[in-house]
Amino acid sequence: MTAQTKRVPASLGREEYVEVEKNVKLHVSDLGEGTPVVLIHGWPLSDAMYEYQYQYLIQEGYRVIGITLRGFGKSDKPYGKYDYDVYADDIKVVLDKLNIQNATLGGFSMGGAISIHYTAKYGAAHINKLVLFGAAAPIWSKKEDVDELIAQSRINRPQLLENFGKIFAATETAISPALGAWLGAINLEASPYATTQSLIALRDGDLRTDLGKIKIPTAIFHGTKDKICPFNLAEEMHAGIKGSYIVKFENSGHGLFVEELQKFNSELLSFLKK
């Protein structure tokens, strides 16, 4: 299998489509030059969510690689399994094919849970640091609450996404209407099937045994007002990952990467430089 790639000059960045299994290609944004930072998006976003991290980190001299998971954004949307194992396996193939070494892996929400599982399953292959942004881990929520989301995903996905958007930030006005519309448009690019199947993965995922397998430096970024992944999850991850530390975002809900954009980027840069 070979990566099918559409390239622009290296100084500007590259868009790639990497085949992770027969007839399944993932969209990868590969931008800048320098020490690599690999970013995994949350449900039901795509790597486009990191637009304002890409621009910042490129300016700071980093190579940023955003992987859009199968079923989302510009990646292929096959029928089949959508769970943490499949997602972790896909990330491994992409990093193998791009020959990434000594990267920092960052994941938001479901992407944070997947990043934990990848690190534990593959013994931190290709990476030497981990950073978790509002991660949906080690166990996301009460199963009955997620069951309601799954049911709504099957009959009224636009309403599900609208409801989700209302509790995404610390307050309904914490994210501007323009940014909210931008995020909503990204959400609607997701496959309806993948949207539902990923909710099932979130409901059933239990990463408590994975936490103790993480042996690399780990930072945990979390909004103290998060209504989707409550702050106690950050404390559980911190307790389970030896040597980890928490960065509190006191004015953020779940959307810390845009709610406190400047702090988010500066704290990420500080972690990268440690």
Per residue in 11-43, pLDDT tens? 446 788 999 999 999 999 999 999 999 999 999
Quick one: pLDDT at residue 1? 37
- Over residues 220-242, mean pLDDT: 97
Tokens of 187: 């959400």
Question: CATH assignment of 4-273, given 3.30.200.20, 1.10.1030.10, 3.30.70.1230, 3.40.50.1820?
Answer: 3.40.50.1820
- Could you list the active site residues? 109, 226, 254
- The domain limits of the chain are 4-273
Mean pLDDT across the chain: 93
Q: Give the CA-trace dihedral at 51, 57, 63, 68, to 10 degrees.
A: -30
- 24-31: strand order across its sheet: 4-7, 14-21, 24-31, 62-67, 35-40, 103-108, 127-133, 218-223, 245-249
DSSP one-letter string for 129-183:
EEEEES---S--S-HHHHHHHHHHHHH-HHHHHHHHHHTTSSSTTSS-HHHHHHH
User: 11 or 133, which is more confident?
Assistant: 133
**9 pLDDT exceeds 50?**
no
What is the predicted pLDDT for the residue at 140?
78
